[in-house]
Chains A and B, each alone.
Chain A
Amino acid sequence: MSGVDLSVKIGSLVLQNPVMLASGTVGYGNEISEYTDLSKIGGIVTKSVSLHPRKGNPPTRITETASGMLNAIGLANVGLEEFIKTKIPFLKNLDSTLICNIAASSIEEYVECTKALDSEETVKAFEINVSCPNVKDGGLIFGNDVNNVRKITAKVRAVTNKPIIIKLSPNTASIKDFAQAAKDEGADAVSAINTLVGTAFDIYTKKPKIKNITGGLSGPAIKPVALAKVLEISRNVDIPIIGIGGIMNWKDAVEFMICGATAIQLGTVNFINPNASEEIIEGLKNYCLETNLSKISDLTGSYLI
């Protein structure tokens, strides 16, 4: 029996399977396409794009920590114009569902970027990044204030009919309030989580290991936190959740879906195993066969508490 239905729905967006690649961990798809077949994945979320190009933070931008890493890339990206001109044409030929992640330092900038990309047929949905911990202007300033998240969602909703996913920060006391605000203002889904603020110091030089002092923690170290956030949203808000945080293999993916995720995104694992997505899709299929699940979507929120 190979008849497992791996497809999942996020608002009006149908994905062939729940495995997506997370923003900022696969660039614009070209490099990783040498290692993995992007036509097989559920979707690819591009590096956060902002209205104008951003150079990002000076080196050192990353450092390894126990079972994880800190990054303070600082939203380095080519900017909206270049993205439309040079990245979209490549992404068009990928034969993969393209979700565009947008970052901004003002509410107007979110709106302007969404508007400009709305007419691009290749872009199937938007992920709104209100949770980048590594830039001074924007990012977490929005993600930490539920009223801002409300405003951004409403304004972006007004300029596109495509599905909107609000990417939430774990650096808040009550993530469910943010998910509820996103839902109230018409978001189709939320993704959780972005990175956790962290730091690391060299004990001999007494200096921070990354120039920005703090960075975003990602990788297997954050998985329990991410799962708890997904579960919190799932138990309190009726909105599709995309689970992110430390997923290394298919078992982790299953765990996220049980805790309430409709789909999942792979981040840090892409750096270590650029073919992880294909392996995880295969693993999910086998798990469904093994446990007699005919539709993987039945796994979502199947926790017994």
Chain B
Amino acid sequence: MIEKNAIVKSVEEIQKGIFILKVESELSALEATPGQFCNIKVDDSLTPLLRRPFSICDVEGNIISFQFNIVGEGTKILSQKKKGDILNIIGPLGVGFNYSGNYENAIIIAGGIGAAPFPFLIEKIPNNKNIISFCGGRTKNDIISYKLKNVITSTDDGSEGFHGNVVELLESEIHKYDKAKTKIFACGPNPMLRALSKFTIENGYECEISTESVMACGFGICQGCNVEGVHSDRFLLVCKDGPVFNAEDVKL
């Protein structure tokens, strides 16, 4: 992991409120693992003070993409970046998805902006695997399927696809896939991950989840991103031990 100034190549609003930021950086992009993140200083000012963490969405040569929605001041500033602007970035950080193994079906579960890390994962998953992407949102406008494969959708209000949440959608579809040959990769809000973990643990599915936490540093020195571990009497750090965990290893 290193700290680098990256050059903004483009910021594109791919659908209402959802942005793709592309930066050019020598930042060991090649060594990055899907699920890892970068910690970005959105500008030089003291407010916002801290860096903002974003999953690596995609890597093409020396171009890294991030996918984000506007939450507060930091993401608003990021959405207004122009080609040629400089962004100071630390990364790649944390532990990403483990996509090796002899599963045949890679099931992706994305809740809203939780779709962000999956274009890169899909690119890295070996070609002989079957990839299915379950994408959920509150309404059809909240569904993000940018660069995802074989998308099946769900909405809380029934405006598109399955009427219900994405975990309920998974539960209704999963019988189609051989449990022993299936691995689930998920990212989304904590309540979704909690429900998913409960399901996968009770039913014995292999499942990795990408979690979120407030962060100050992103590389293990502030102790601010703690999460309760299952097998450990100390807290785990989302930035260093995660953000990707085996579903059975963390209590969200």
Contact = CB atoms under 8 A, between A and B. Distances in A.
A274 interface: yes
Contact of A59 (B1, B2, B41, B226): B226
A4 interface: no
B221 A31 contact: yes
B100 interface: no
Q: How big is chain A's contact interface, by range?
A: 35 or more
A26 B224 contact: no
A66 B47 contact: yes
B220 A64 contact: no
Interface residues of B, number: 31
Contacts of B213: 59-60
A32 interface: yes
Q: By DSSP majority rule, is chain A's interface helix, strand, loop, or mixed?
A: loop
A303 interface: no
B219 A31 contact: yes
Contact of A55 (B90, B218, B233): B233
A35 B2 CA distance: 7
B152 interface: no
B235 A55 contact: yes
Interface in A32-72: 32, 34-35, 53, 55-56, 58-64, 66-69, 71
Closest 8 CB pairs of A and B: A62-B224, A271-B217, A31-B220, A271-B216, A67-B46, A27-B221, A73-B223, A220-B46
Interface of B: 1-3, 41, 46-51, 90, 213-228, 233-235, 240
Interface of A: 24-27, 31-32, 34-35, 53, 55-56, 58-64, 66-69, 71, 73, 76, 219-220, 248, 268, 270-275
7 contacts: A26-B221, A34-B1, A58-B228, A62-B215, A67-B49, A69-B49, A272-B41
